[in-house]
Amino acid sequence: MEWHSHHMPKACSSCVHEANKFEKEMNRSFLNKYLMHTYQASVRAQIKGRSQVIKTEVRAMNAQDARWLLWAQYGFHSIQVGPIQVNTR
């Protein structure tokens, strides 16, 4: 049986609206959990033989994964600040 919006009582319309809102929130939650995020950090790096603090960005699923990536790329004691998730939306 197919439902048409003009046959729905008012109370049911608000139920549909709430269900749509819930679905959007669930999608947002799913995307936040399973998509990559951008993290910024300041790291100490060797540049032309000199130690300098530089700002960098990595993409990772969470802050701990971002930290592992930074450690792998720049060394275990290299992270000075961060990683901090940045809003890219």
Measuring CA to CA, which residue among 12, 32, 9, 10 is closest to residue 20?
12
62 is a domain residue:
yes
pTM for this structure? 0.60
Q: Does residue 19 belong to any structural domain of this protein?
A: no
Let me know if residue 44 belongs to a domain: yes
Quote the CA–CA distance of 85 and 27 in Å, as a whole number.
20
Total residues belonging to the chain: 89
Domain range for residue 77?
35-86
pLDDT one-digit tens code per residue, 14-58: 666 666 776 666 666 666 666 889 999 999 988 899 999 999 999
**Count: domains in the chain:** 1
